[in-house]
Structure 1
């Protein structure tokens, strides 16, 4: 990642943001962001707000030096809010992850301003962890996945935590929605990495119906 544009694209991928979503969050025009990402514009005056929207170091974004992630803050910092994380896997690969009724919990901190920009501050948020490879390169095995259980309205192209029924126990997956004339389907970003999801699956399948648990808003990896 030798350019500012490449670093922005990588940070967007990690955060699960499309280019239009980042432009909106950073409060800059889409063509301006596109120019910066494509290295047609230096865009130095917009870098601080882009860095804030991506929750990355402005120094790293501009120079590529130092840590990408911002330093973690203490629990008393009023600019951050706690989101409950569950030691609950969600299937990305061939097999789903069964719901764990008593999954261990912990707290993760998210910046309030970032959640407000996406309109999800104060909503029913939770974090699960991905397992498998069928959503690569969007989601890697072990990535944390922030989702909103109060948002189950399906939007074409968005990512959702879903439950697939029909097995002995319902299983969790994260998949991308496809809204077609024939109905709503869910698909993998990397179908070749998952034999069970080589083709999109219909939401209203009689054999294995799908229920939307919540919309995915952020994806990130933490070291063990």
Structure 2
């Protein structure tokens, strides 16, 4: 099986056409078509293709191993993480990620806004970013608040966000700035520029449908590619 064959198989596994996959990874549809036909052997976008399609990057590049050998980005994975409050030096294999927070406006009327890096950072292993094809400059973190995504993401769990992935992959989890509220939901595309916001705790938090247009539309901060799990 050639690289082109594997790219085509990965794309079909993800349920994407050439146009959508090409847009997601930042190339033209003819360029992707050439790669699938074997007319181009460029490997510059293989990590992005693997990330978008949810398959193993090593398999895509070399054919070794299994297509779904690595954990999917929406599966639960337990790690050791640490919110950095002190001055302890970073290890060589760590990075400090800026954090998103929901804070009150200075006017004191109860309104909130979502801001990034409000004086706190989180340590995160560089190897975890590389495994998921996330560029360090696109990575950030936040803390889940509330029970809407339980049992998948518990109240108070730290999460990591890829700000470079703002296109919607149906069923994946995203961080949103919605009217100044930091929200975490599974997203599903709908016609006419609308989107479904789905909570895993659907008994208490019914599904919502919103337009992606206009000043009141939810703004996608990025895809949630990791979260901590508490016992």
- For residues 78-123 of structure 1, give each alpha carbon's deviation from its aligned partner in whole angstroms, at most 9, with x where no partner exists: 122121235548xxxxxxx932659742232222122012111323
1:219 to partner: Cα distance: 0.8
In 1, distance between residues paired with 2:198 and 2:225?
Answer: 17
Go from structure 1 to structure 2 and tell me whether the alpha carbon gap of 1:118 and 1:193 turns closer, same or farther (over 3 Å shift).
same
Relative to structure 1, the CA distance from residue 135 to residue 123 in structure 2 (aligned partners, 3 Å threshold; closer, same or farther) is: same
Which secondary structure does the structure 2 equivalent of 1:193 belong to? Answer: coil
RCO comparison, higher one (Cα < 8 Å, 6+): 1
Q: Deviations over 1:108-158 (max 9, x none)?
A: 222212201211132322211111111111111001111122321111111
1:144, 1:164 → 2: CA distance? Answer: 19
Measured against aligned partners, the alpha-carbon deviations of 1:164-202 in whole angstroms (never above 9, x if no partner) come to 23xxxx3221111112346422211112123xxx12322
Unaligned runs of 5+ in 2: 1-52, 60-64, 72-76, 104-110
Q: Partner of 1:127: helix, strand, or coil?
A: strand
- RMSD of equivalent CA atoms: 3.7
Give matches, 1:117-196, under 5 Å: 117-165=131-179, 170-181=180-191, 183-194=194-205
Aligned residue pairs total: 157
Structure 1, gaps ≥5 residues long: 1-19, 35-53, 57-68, 90-96
- Structure 1 length normalisation: TM-score? 0.56
Q: Which runs of 4+ in 1 moved over 6 A?
A: 31-34
1:211 aligns with 2:219: yes
For 1:163 and 1:142, the matched residues in 2 are separated by 18
Match of 2:112 in 1: 98
